[in-house]
Structure 1
Amino acid sequence: MSETRPASRTRSDRGPVRAWTLLLAVVVPTAVAAVVGMLLTWPGEATGADRPQLVDVAVELDSARVTATQLQRCDGTVEDVQADGTVPDQVDCLQVTARVTSGPRAGTTVEVFATAGLGVDDVPVGTAVVVEYYPEADGSPAVWAWHGFSRSLPLGAFALAFALVTVLVAGARGLRALIGLVLAFGVLALYVLPGLVAGENAVVLALCGSAVIVLVVLYLTHGVSLRTTTALVGTLVGLLMVAALGALGAHVARLDPVTTEDAYRLSQLLGSDGPQILRGVFLCGVVLAGLGVLNDVTITQASAVWELRAADPSAGWRRLFTQGMSIGRDHIASTVYTIAFAYAGASLPVLLLLEVYGQPLGQTLTSGPFAEEIVRTLAGSMGLVLAIPLTTVVAALVAVTASGEQARVDADTERVHAHTHAAGIGARAVPRPGAAPRVVVMGVSGCGKSTVGALLAERLGVPFLDADDLHPRSNVDKMAAGVPLTDEDRLPWLRLVGEALAEAPAGAVVACSALRRGYRDVLREAAPEVRFVHLAGTREQLAARLTSRVDHFMPAALLDSQLATLEPLTPDEDPVLLDIALAPAELAEQAARAL
């Protein structure tokens, strides 16, 4: 046994190296291509300097504070047209008196007319607003005009609240995610947007920018691991599919780039290249819209597969893929309509306007603006749907490869059984009269091991121990790198748990899943008098408990995997079986009476 163990460990060590090699063969060339593409298409400093400007009158924006308001009657204009097409002779208009609080004109009192539709109650005295100042030009006097409300303070407060909530809930990972978000917007502001204005290839801009963003954000937020790299591969391939589907949809649907007033104004501003640039803007928007949702589902799918592998180290890649896809189908079902409703919510004013006009539904959906949104939604959704099985199969293959050959895992399990049974510890030893109680509270996730175990320890007057706290450094490092533990990894840990249980002078209660007979036999080898209390419940009860837990992610498929892995206590183990339908205190009381 001592001669073969080093060779087995060497093979195990080669698993993660082999998995990293396969993933980096995809990630490294992609990262190099993205960086090179970004450097080749980086916009110059003079971008847009030679393009015509729509606004040829100098205007400056100043902050101001409202000091008085007065509702007046003003002549109607075309902006006041009513539903029947007529323009009223006079309409209500709000005159606002404000004191400028910023810039060289601070202290000046000005009078402006607010936007149509605003009343006295909408602009109370003391409201912070922004006004426009048009300097004197060609003999014309300076003019002041209404610009809008000052929103810097409330928007800043909301942004700060978002950052605080994110950090409080997610901790350091949330802080890293916020840093990644800032860097992502930096790529958009410094590279993608100037590149679009400069007329660079929009697909190249979108793919290079998105690849750099996802490389930085994923590794910064989730750390460098096989799990994160697997999600990265799925996201990158998903972005390629979204870009291809968006280009195909735009071509087949013959989308007109100039379909709205804003698009028309932008086309004028961009000059003769405007229509072509706007086509690129659409494709770029499709890719960027797909980036966020792809990042979400791929990292979750990769994490789910790793958790499934950790719960059942004997599972092969096909079983992991099948179980992972049961989670993926839930993601598909929820995310698809999430995307659709996000677009519908953003387009709600247009939908209401068309409802007022009473246009037929078919004509409405095939009109330019709606056709763009439909193509954008369908392209992103199809890319998402295709990325989920791709990420799942890659994660399953990498998880199995990283943890070694399947035959070795099975051999490890058999070795545990053979070793413990050869030592004569297959069945529970009879405790000595007056012996200190040594108890393991076992069961799948969600059964309440820790809660009931702590109560039972208090009831028995002995210390309580959570087995997860005894993982050796090697196991912690391996799990931190995204590599699931094998039975070979667990064997020293189980022995450590058994030793801690045996060496407790007054006895102890330990919370440990102990799902397999072989695991329990390892604990018996160290502490022959140990008793096992199994907290059992129906799948529905366990699933309900997992759903209510806010600090733990446990998909339904992982619960099914643990239930399939569970080897129930046999009569020769002198089991204590309890139903989790009872309250934790009652369970602890019943366990104490049964021991």
Structure 2
Amino acid sequence: MTPTHDHHATPPPRGSGTSTRRRVFRATLAAFVGLLVLGTALSIALMWPSADRVAPGAGVSDPGGEIVSARVTDVALAPCTTPGAAAASAASAPDSPTGAHTAPPPGADDCVEVRAELPIGKPVEFTIRGPAARGVALAPGDAVRLIAHEVVLDGTAEVNYSFYDVPRGGKLLTIAIVFALIVITVGRWRGAMALLGVGAATTLLVLFILPAILAGKPPVLVAVVGATGIMVIVLYLAHGLTHRTTAALFGSLFGILFTAVAGFGVTRWLRFTGVSSTDDASLVIAVPTLQMNDVLTATIVIAGLGILNDITVAQASSVWEMRSLNPGLPQRQLYLSAMRVGRDHIASSIYTLVFAYAGAMLVMLLLLTTYPRDLIELVTSEQIGQEIVRTLIGAAGLVLAMPVTTACAVLFAAPPETDHGPARNPSAPFWRGNTAG
């Protein structure tokens, strides 16, 4: 008797093996991200500086006296006189040309004599000289901050006052509020989360990275760990816990590590001391144990975070949009198409980075170009060389992070399971995969 074959038997689902592999992949990826977050948190906790180990920098950032507030009552122009000039003039012989008619120094009318009143009602006077006199433009009723210096003359203590700054906290707060309103109005919920991420990242910078470096922790390691923490916070807060965000995070981490390693090697190869300005010198005086070339590397790592975040998120989003528009596109073709988009973004990002650095150091460039120095000598000096290295290494980190982000995004952006499973949703949390609903 011929056996009967059941031609209507249901074959095993073709996508069952693929679904299992994808579930294993999602679980592995979630575990890896969890370990990364846990490791970063533990590293921050282990390197968190105690308050008594942070160098106070006494006498370096201190303006030299007590800072007090006052209210301007009167402003008048007055000839500038160099301290000690009157005594020198009186000591000159009456028939001396220099003693009889001394020409006023350049910018004689730039000095401003200001009368003000302290909160206790005490009237005080001070003089603003040089560029500050031209830029401050005080008027009666303005609030000012003064430095009170106590001097002893002939056994008598006197308090002299000098101009320190004008309070501008309220105006800066207003600008910040207007900026936040613009971001939230245009970006809605995503913009609000981005602002929250910026606030958290700034908190990490102020409470961990800066104090840890001042406390003697390795600056490069602190910068890498702090930058990783900042990226985790900013990316997942602003863009959600998705595969797309994870791809951007992995590309960003590669850029951070490359920048740190390259910066560490290049600063030593070029024999940079890390001291190229008065601010650098003041920091060395405040914290003599600091390795300033390592601090230079740390600045390179931190400075590139913003543009690195931008390019990795944009590249991951490009891959997801391409996959959404053409689910059947092979991974190799998807990677090549996304790389073409990324190359255009790389070009504009490099321009952004270069001109951001150029704008930040514009005053220094203007000053240095006034010196009678050869162009090659000027460019290869440490003061300019540091900025060139910051730009080049930061740009190299951006360029190399782009293909890494693209590869991760292509790997994570699986095509929709339309034949044997639910459709995929790229906005779903990565631990649930991309399953819609």
Tell me the TM-score normalized by structure 2.
0.84
Tell me the amino acid that sits aligned with residue 392 of structure 1: T
Q: Paired residue for 1:347?
A: 361
1:459-501 Cα distance to aligned partner (Å, 9 max, x none):
xxxxxxxxxxxxxxx76x8242279xxxxx99xxxxxxxxxxx
Q: CA deviation at 1:321?
A: 0.6
- Which stretches in structure 1 are left out of the alignment for 5+ residues? 79-85, 416-473, 484-488, 491-595
Equivalences for residues 2-151 of structure 1 within 5 A = 7-8=13-14, 10=16, 13-14=19-20, 16-24=22-30, 26-48=32-54, 53-54=59-60, 59-76=65-82, 88=105, 91-92=108-109, 93-100=111-118, 105-117=119-131, 118-119=133-134, 122-134=137-149, 140-151=157-168
Judge which range, 88-97 or 338-347, deviates more. Answer: 88-97
Q: CA deviation at 1:381?
A: 0.5
- Counterparts of 1:121 and 1:193, CA distance in 2: 31
Tell me the amino acid that sits aligned with residue 322 of structure 1: L
Q: CA deviation at 1:66?
A: 2.3
- Counterparts of 2:61 and 2:426, CA distance in 1: 59
- Counterparts of 1:90 and 1:267, CA distance in 2: 35
Judge conservation of contact 2:43–2:225 (CA < 8 Å) in 1. Answer: yes
Q: CA deviation at 1:8?
A: 5.0
Q: Paired residue for 1:231?
A: 248
Judge conservation of contact 1:57–1:134 (CA < 8 Å) in 2. Answer: no
Judge conservation of contact 2:244–2:426 (CA < 8 Å) in 1. Answer: no
Q: CA deviation at 1:245?
A: 1.2
Structure 1 residues 46 and 315, CA gap change in structure 2 (3 angstroms) = same
Choose between structure 1 and 2 for higher RCO, CA contacts under 8 A separated by at least 6 residues: 2
- Counterparts of 2:158 and 2:270, CA distance in 1: 51
Structure 1 residues 4 and 146, CA gap change in structure 2 (3 angstroms) = farther
- Counterparts of 2:344 and 2:8, CA distance in 1: 47
Structure 1 residues 56 and 147, CA gap change in structure 2 (3 angstroms) = closer
Structure 1 residues 77 and 255, CA gap change in structure 2 (3 angstroms) = farther
Tell me the amino acid that sits aligned with residue 356 of structure 1: T
Q: Paired residue for 2:324?
A: 310
Structure 1 residues 264 and 396, CA gap change in structure 2 (3 angstroms) = same
Tell me the amino acid that sits aligned with residue 178 of structure 1: L
- Which stretches in structure 2 are left out of the alignment for 5+ residues? 1-6, 85-102
Tell me the amino acid that sits aligned with residue 97 of structure 1: R
Equivalences for residues 32-431 of structure 1 within 5 A = 32-48=38-54, 53-54=59-60, 59-76=65-82, 88=105, 91-92=108-109, 93-100=111-118, 105-117=119-131, 118-119=133-134, 122-134=137-149, 140-271=157-288, 273-274=289-290, 276=291, 278-400=292-414, 403=416, 412=419
Structure 1 residues 291 and 3, CA gap change in structure 2 (3 angstroms) = farther
Tell me the TM-score normalized by structure 1.
0.62
Equivalences for residues 425-504 of structure 1 within 5 A = 478-481=425-428
- The alignment partner of 1:131 has SS state of strand
1:230-257 Cα distance to aligned partner (Å, 9 max, x none):
1111111111011111112101111122
Judge conservation of contact 1:77–1:87 (CA < 8 Å) in 2. Answer: no
Tell me the amino acid that sits aligned with residue 352 of structure 1: L
Q: CA deviation at 1:134?
A: 3.3
- The alignment partner of 1:143 has SS state of strand
Identity of aligned residues (%): 34
Tell me the amino acid that sits aligned with residue 116 of structure 1: G
Structure 1 residues 5 and 357, CA gap change in structure 2 (3 angstroms) = farther
Judge conservation of contact 1:180–1:221 (CA < 8 Å) in 2. Answer: yes
What is the aligned length?
404
- The alignment partner of 1:284 has SS state of helix
Judge conservation of contact 2:243–2:429 (CA < 8 Å) in 1. Answer: yes
Judge conservation of contact 1:309–1:315 (CA < 8 Å) in 2. Answer: yes
Q: CA deviation at 1:98?
A: 2.3
- Counterparts of 1:56 and 1:165, CA distance in 2: 37
- Counterparts of 2:317 and 2:413, CA distance in 1: 10
- Counterparts of 1:201 and 1:91, CA distance in 2: 50
Q: CA deviation at 1:211?
A: 1.0
Judge conservation of contact 2:55–2:286 (CA < 8 Å) in 1. Answer: no
Judge conservation of contact 2:55–2:287 (CA < 8 Å) in 1. Answer: no
- Counterparts of 1:370 and 1:356, CA distance in 2: 14
1:444-465 Cα distance to aligned partner (Å, 9 max, x none):
xxxxxxxxxxxxxxxxxxxxxx
Provide runs of 4+ in structure 1 moved above 4 Å: 1-6, 8-13, 49-52, 55-58, 135-139
Tell me the amino acid that sits aligned with residue 74 of structure 1: C
